[in-house]
């Protein structure tokens, strides 16, 4: 993968780069993600928010309802409203960058498929990537260096 990844919104005003590779990449098949994207799933690259550097433009924070009742805030381009990343559970330190808005989405394939209990039946999952009916324990799945990075954020 290239040294840094860049991405941006549909109108081109909001541009960003990831200062390092993400800690983990989730492909989420939950109903919330399906509804919010109007699609089959969302691909989220989990990375420290301070490693998402704006190159141009800005984002606006749009809160959305969640099944859990915990906060979920989507950051969108204020002009074209493309969703660029999310904050979950009231933790703005951790960004869930939407891989589909990267210039090269193929650079970050999913490390896990989650909430496959609501996966659309015609989506076939690869045999070599772990899949979970709901969530998973990151302590058992994430690489040690990624767990260290998360620990550095939250203690
Ligand atoms: Zn835009
Ligand atoms: Zn989801």
Per-residue pLDDT of the chain in tens (155 residues, 90 and over written 9): 556 899 999 999 999 999 999 999 999 999 999 999 999 999 999 999 999 999 999 999 999 988 778 899 999 999 999 999 999 988 999 999 999 999 999 999 999 999 999 999 999 999 999 999 999 999 999 999 999 999 999 98
- Ligand 1 centre to CA of 83 (Å) is 9
- CA gap 53, 5 in Å, rounded: 11
pTM higher than 0.85? yes
Decide: 27 and 38 in contact? Cβ < 8 Å.
no
Beta carbons of 33 and 99 less than 8 angstroms apart: no
Rounded Cα gap, residues 87 and 152, in angstroms? 18
User: What is the 24 CA–ligand 1 centroid distance (Å)?
Assistant: 26
Q: What is the C-alpha separation between 75 and 83, in angstroms, rounded?
A: 6
> What stretches of the chain show up as alpha helix (H) in DSSP?
31-37, 138-141, 144-154
Q: How far is the CA of 52 from the centre of ligand 2 (A)?
A: 21
CA of 150 to the centre of ligand 1 (A): 30
């Amino acid at each position: 993968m290239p040294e840094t990844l860049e991405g941006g919104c549909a109108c081109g005003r909001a541009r960003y780069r990831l200062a390092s590779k993400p800690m983990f990449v989730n492909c989420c098949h939950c109903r919330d993600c399906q509804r919010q994207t109007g699609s089959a799933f969302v691909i989220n690259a989990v990375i420290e928010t301070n490693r998402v550097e704006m190159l141009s433009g800005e984002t606006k924070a749009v809160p959305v309802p969640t099944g859990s009742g915990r906060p979920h805030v989507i950051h969108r381009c204020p002009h074209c409203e493309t969703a660029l990343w999310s904050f979950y559970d009231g933790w703005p330190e951790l960004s869930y960058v939407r891989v589909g808005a990267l210039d090269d989405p193929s650079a970050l394939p999913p490390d896990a498929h989650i909430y496959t209990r609501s996966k659309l039946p015609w989506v076939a999952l690869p045999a070599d990537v772990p899949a979970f009916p709901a969530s998973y324990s990151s302590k058992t799945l994430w690489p040690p260096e990624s767990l260290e990075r998360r620990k550095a954020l939250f203690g």
